[in-house]
Homo-oligomer: A and B are copies of this chain.
Amino acid sequence: MSSERVLNVGRKSLDDYIVEVILMFQEGSERVVLKGVGPYISRAVDLYNALVSRMGDSVELVKVGIGSERIKGRMKPFIAIEIRKKY
């Protein structure tokens, strides 16, 4: 397995996203990327912190990427938080 899935963080509740992440891991994803664009960058970090406080040491931070990408003709900042489930 070396599958990676991307979770786009938006307006849903953090609990909804936590469930989605847990399901992605259960379905065999090795890594999950929490992606937040524009105002959802802060929320992606919130989600990461919520996952750590909920799942503890079983979640490991692999890498944090930042940058900007063109969306509908405009450059928008993004964050990509890559996490891994340890056991």
Contact = CB atoms under 8 A, between A and B. Distances in A.
Nearest to A48: B66
A32 to B, nearest CB: 15
Contacts of A40: 42
A28 interface: no
Counted per complex, copies of this chain come to 2
Nearest to A40: B42
Interface size class of chain A, counting residues whose CB lies under 8 Å from the partner chain: 20 to 34
Nearest to A67: B49
Contacts of A78: 45
Interface string A59-87: 00100111110000001011101000000
Interface of A: 38-42, 45-46, 48-49, 61, 64-68, 75, 77-79, 81
